[in-house]
Structure 1
């Protein structure tokens, strides 16, 4: 696994997206433990998308407009619902101090949110093969995919640690919490609108 690949994967994982916003909001609401389980859920979804890509189903998503649009708009609807829930400070998406959420619920939400992201399987098909020579065994492809998955988990966990560290100060300020809630809601809504306007390419 080359340094160039690891560096590129790190930059991609570091870029804020659906999983990052979900992990940050979970850690703000429930601390590092909640952020950890949110990261696990997002990472599991990444593994599932990797399996889909390996099976060639990403190519089907890419060529079947109906299937692609169905999955895409399911993801859009879920993101917009999350934006509404965060803005209204509701239930598991509250970013205020709250009773601990179960690990299972946090993991399930992370999986569902990211499994509806149609960009991931297409990303694996477009990105990973660039680092695989034509005559390489399938094992190298799997190795690169798992490397990306591990990088995703580490980066998300880092985001969770940062959010958990600063939450004690933010929770003491009603004004800061109101603006933070609006920022997370706007992020989810923006990600949903961005996903809605993307084509299959």
Structure 2
């Protein structure tokens, strides 16, 4: 594993995407524990894309317009659904103005599941790993598959750590958000708009 791989991975993970937005929203609306669950779910959502890349399924996805478009629009619909829920202040990321622990009302698996789906239904992730991983692995080597899974594990570990840090920072501001109705409403609508824009960007994405 090279220093170049670590630096590139850190840059990629730090860039705001749907996973980062979801983790920030969880931290601001429900607190530190929820943000960690969201980060865990988003990290788990990477696993199928890594497996598809290693198994060569990413090449099939790249070659098949129907497969790519199907997965893409499922992802678009889910992001729009998240935006709609956030705008209505319902679902796994609803804001509790009283400051009570939302995890008592929303099962942790619901938060994790939403994080998984956000990344799972993004076909660009599979193609990203198809293009990204081979740059740091000798694909002709006998242990190339093992090496790719090793790099993927490091990528996922960095993703989880960075997302947790994002979420914890957001959680620190939670008290200031829920104690100010106007700020809370602005935050809720900002995240709803962010999910909607992410969905629109994915809808316009090409292979």
Shorter-chain TM range is over 0.9
**How many correspondences in the alignment?**
200
**2:183 equivalent to 1:191:** no
Q: Matches of 1:68 and 1:133 in 2, distance apart?
A: 27
2:173 aligns to what SS in structure 1?
helix
Alpha-carbon shift at residue 174 of structure 1 (Å)? 1.2
- Check conservation: 1:76, 1:193, Cα contact below 8 A: yes
After superposition, where does 1:138-177 map in structure 2 within 5 Å?
Answer: 138=144, 139-177=146-184
Change (3 A) 1:198 1:66: same
Could you tell me which residue of structure 1 aligns to residue 57 of structure 2?
A: 57
Partner of 2:85: 85
Q: How does 1:103-114 map to 2 (within 5 A)?
A: 103-114=108-119
- Encode CA deviations 1:119-157: one digit per residue, 9 max, x unaligned: 111110101111123444222212111111111111110
State how 1:13-162 maps to structure 2 within 5 Å.
13-96=13-96, 97=99, 99-100=102-103, 101-136=106-141, 137-138=143-144, 139-162=146-169
Structure 1, residues 150-198: CA drift from partner, whole Å, max 9, x if none? 1111111011111111111121111111111111011101100000001
Determine the C-alpha separation between the residues in 2 that align with 1:7 and 1:171. 36
Where do 5+ consecutive residues of structure 2 fail to align?
none
TM-score, structure 1 length as denominator? 0.95
Preserved CA contact (<8 Å) 1:25 1:95:
no
Tell me how far apart the structure 2 counterparts of residues 176 and 106 of structure 1 sit (CA, whole Å): 23
- After superposition, the Cα gap between the structure-2 partners of 1:66 and 1:135, relative to the gap in structure 1 and judged at 3 Å, is closer
Per mean C-alpha deviation after superposition, the further-off stretch among 126-135 and 70-79 is: 126-135
